[in-house]
Amino acid sequence: MEKIFLFDTTLRDGEQSPGASMSLDQKITIAKQLEKMGIDVIEAGFPVSSPYQFETCATVSKTIKDATVCVLSRAVENDILKASEAVASAARPRIHTFIATSPIHMEYKLKKDPETVIDMAVAAVKYARNLVPEVEFSAEDATRSDWEFLYRIVEKAINAGATIINIPDTVGYTTPDEYGRLIKAIRDNVPNIDKAILSAHCHNDLGLAVANTLSGINNGIRQAEITINGIGERAGNAALEEIVMALNVRKDFYDFYTDIDTTQLYKASRLLANTIAFPIPRNKPIVGENVFLHQSGIHQDGVIKNKKTYEIMTPESVGRVSNTFTFGRQSGRNAFLQRLKDMNIEIPSDKKDIIYSRFLEIADAKKEVYDEDIFSIVNDELGTKTVFFKLDYFNIISGDVVEPTATVRIDKTGKILKEAATGDGPIDAIFNAIDKITEIETNLIEYNVQAVTPGREALGEVSVGIEIGGEYFAGRGSSTDILEASAKAYVNALNRYMIKTQID
C-alpha cells in the first residue's frame, strides 16, 4: 500500500471562506488538533498579506513539531522572503509558491505572456529553494490551462528545485475522468516527474472536489490538499474527513493509506464548526448528525439484525461515541470527566468546574444528556477565547397583548453595561438591546434554530448571520432556552466581528 500525504489548508484556503476568520488562539488550537490527528502538512497562511497573517504563520511554525508547516507566496521575491521569515522556526518548513497558468488568468489577471509566466515560476522556485529546504509549486487554474504548457512549466519548476507539484482545480471546473486523465498525462509527458510528488487541490463548485481528488489519486496524485468540513473559497475544498474515510473504507479499491487517526475526525469537525460558527448540515458525510441514524422500518430492522446491512463504517471509527449518555446529576463529576476523555475532549483544569456546572444545569433540565449536548457545552465555554462581549443576564417581557421588551446586561471586557429595548418579538427586542450596548450597527441576515438532541427538553442551538460594514459574521449559541441561545449566538457573532477588527 502506498501512502497519501495529507496537506491541510483549513487555516489558509479554509479561512478564505466568507465569515471564517479565526483569531490566533483559535488557529493554534486547530493546528494542534491537526497535528494530533496525524496530518502531514499544515498550510498556516499567506505571510505577506498582513502582519496578522505573518504572526499566525510564525506562531504555528514555532508550535508545531511533527507536521511540516507550509506558507503561501505568490511568485515574487518579496512574498517569498516574507514566507521564509515566517517559517524560520518551523521544524519542517515548506514554501508554497504559485502562479496562474490558464490563458484567462495570464491575460486578464496577470497581464503576462506565457513565457514570462514560466520565467517567473522558475525564478520563484529557485529563490525559495535557497531559503528553505522544501518548495511546492502550484500552477493556479491548472485545469483550465493548456496541457502542453503545463508540461513545460512543471518540468521547469522541478528542474528549478520544486519537489511537490500541485495541480489545482482552482475554480472547481474539472470532472473526475478529466482530472484523472490530466494527472496521467502529466506523468506521461513530463520527463523529470519522478523527482516530485504530485498534489491535488480541488475546489467544490460542482460538488466534485472529493471525487476529482480521488480520481487524481488513482492516476498518480500522492498529496491531497484538503480542509476540515471542506471549507474554503466559494463552495470550498475537498473535505478532509471524506477523503480519509473514502480511502479507509474502500482500501480494497484504492490500495492507499493515510497516517490520520480517524477517531479524531469528528472532534476536528466539531471544533472547527464551533470556532467559525458554521453549522454542519445534518446530512454532511461522516460528521453530520444523520449519518448514523436509520429512519425507515426496513433499515432499522436490518441494523438490529446486523449493523453492516446499512452502515459502511462504525461511528466509533470516526470518533463518535454511539451510546447515549444517560448520566444525570447523580452520575458525579468523575464519571462526567471520564466521559469527556472517552470523547477525546481535553479541557484545561481551570475550566473543569464551569463545564461540569453547565452539565449539571442541562442534566437538571433534561432526562438524557447526549454527546452532542456535551460538545455544545464544551464549545460554548472554550469556543471563542478572545471574548469582548459576554452575556451576563437578560429578562424578557412578552406575550400577545404586550409589546415585547428585553433588558440585557453584557460584560464588555470587564465593564457591566445594561440596556432595555422593545422589538417586533422577544428575539428582536434582545438583539435591539444588545445593539444599544455594543453600539455596533448590524444587519441580521440569517437566523436558524435547531434542536441539538431529541425530546421536548432538547438543547436548542441557534445560529445567526449578521452583516457589519458589508462583511458577514456568523455566531452560534446553545441552551435549553432558545431566547438565551439566541442572545448568546448574537453576542458570539459580535465577538467574531471584534476579532476581525483586531486582525485587520
Minimal distance in Å, beta carbon 233 to Zn ion? 5
- Indicate which of ligand KIV, Zn ion, none lies near residue 98 (CB less than 5 to 8 Å, by partner kind): ligand KIV
Nearer to Zn ion, 13 or 141 (CB): 13
- Indicate which of ligand KIV, Zn ion, none lies near residue 94 (CB less than 5 to 8 Å, by partner kind): none
Nearer to ligand KIV, 223 or 274 (CB): 223
Nearer to ligand KIV, 74 or 488 (CB): 74
Minimal distance in Å, beta carbon 176 to ligand KIV? 18
Q: CB–CB of 59/28 below 8 Å?
A: yes
Applying CB under 5 A, does 380 fall inside the site for Zn ion?
A: no
115: Cβ contacts below 8 Å, ≥ 6 apart: none
DSSP letters of 104-158? HIIIIII---HHHHHHHHHHHHHHHHHH-S-EEEEEETGGGS-HHHHHHHHHHHH
Minimal distance in Å, beta carbon 360 to ligand KIV? 46
Minimal distance in Å, beta carbon 234 to ligand KIV? 10
* Residue ranges binding ligand KIV (CB under 6 A): 13, 72, 98, 138, 140, 166, 168, 170, 201, 203
State residue 438 phi and psi, 5-degree precision.
-80, -20
- Indicate which of ligand KIV, Zn ion, none lies near residue 384 (CB less than 5 to 8 Å, by partner kind): none
State residue 480 phi and psi, 5-degree precision.
-75, -10
Nearer to ligand KIV, 108 or 393 (CB): 108
Q: CB–CB of 270/286 below 8 Å?
A: no
Crossing angle for the helix pair 371-382 and 333-342, nearest 10 degrees? 90
- Indicate which of Zn ion, ligand KIV, none lies near residue 5 (CB less than 5 to 8 Å, by partner kind): none
Nearer to ligand KIV, 201 or 366 (CB): 201
The residue count for binding Zn ion (CB under 5 A) is 1
CA 471 remoteness from chain centre: 19
Nearer to Zn ion, 13 or 241 (CB): 13
Minimal distance in Å, beta carbon 453 to ligand KIV? 37
* C-alpha span between 338 and 169 (Å, rounded): 44
Q: Find where cell 498525462 sits.
A: 185
3-state DSSP assignment of residue 75: coil
Candidate list 5, 6, 10, 13; residue touching Zn ion; CB under 5 A:
13
Applying CB under 5 A, does 141 fall inside the site for Zn ion?
A: no
User: Which residue in the shown chain puts its C-beta closest to Zn ion?
Assistant: 13
Rounding to the nearest 10 degrees, give the CA dihedral for residues 475, 477, 483, 486.
0
Task: At 332, list the grid cell.
Answer: 458525579
Minimal distance in Å, beta carbon 15 to Zn ion? 11
- Indicate which of Zn ion, ligand KIV, none lies near residue 487 (CB less than 5 to 8 Å, by partner kind): none
Minimal distance in Å, beta carbon 305 to ligand KIV? 46
Nearer to ligand KIV, 225 or 380 (CB): 225
Minimal distance in Å, beta carbon 168 to ligand KIV? 3
Q: Which stretch, 8-16, 292-300, 346-354, 419-427, contacts Zn ion (CB under 5 A)?
A: 8-16
Nearer to ligand KIV, 174 or 480 (CB): 174
Nearer to ligand KIV, 168 or 176 (CB): 168
Q: CB–CB of 348/392 below 8 Å?
A: no
Burial class (CB in 10 A: 0-12, 13-18, 19+), 189: middle
Q: Which stretch, 5-13, 210-218, 360-368, 429-437, contacts Zn ion (CB under 5 A)?
A: 5-13
Q: Which stretch, 9-17, 114-122, 359-367, 370-378, contacts Zn ion (CB under 5 A)?
A: 9-17
Minimal distance in Å, beta carbon 63 to Zn ion? 24
Sheet of strand 460-468: strand arrangement: 443-451, 460-468, 471-479
Minimal distance in Å, beta carbon 172 to ligand KIV? 9
Nearer to Zn ion, 13 or 155 (CB): 13
Applying CB under 5 A, does 136 fall inside the site for Zn ion?
A: no
Nearer to ligand KIV, 141 or 373 (CB): 141
Burial class (CB in 10 A: 0-12, 13-18, 19+), 2: exposed
Q: Which stretch, 12-20, 40-48, 150-158, 386-394, contacts Zn ion (CB under 5 A)?
A: 12-20
Q: CB–CB of 302/309 below 8 Å?
A: yes
Nearer to ligand KIV, 171 or 459 (CB): 171
- Indicate which of ligand KIV, Zn ion, none lies near residue 435 (CB less than 5 to 8 Å, by partner kind): none
* C-alpha span between 396 and 102 (Å, rounded): 58
Minimal distance in Å, beta carbon 279 to Zn ion? 23
DSSP letters of 288-304? SGGGG---SHHHHHHHH
Q: CB–CB of 269/226 below 8 Å?
A: no
Which residues partner with 447 through β-bridges?
464
Q: CB–CB of 276/38 below 8 Å?
A: no
Minimal distance in Å, beta carbon 169 to ligand KIV? 8
Which residues partner with 462 through β-bridges?
449, 477
Crossing angle for the helix pair 147-160 and 176-189, nearest 10 degrees? 50
- Indicate which of Zn ion, ligand KIV, none lies near residue 140 (CB less than 5 to 8 Å, by partner kind): ligand KIV
Site residues (vs Zn ion, CB under 5 A): 13
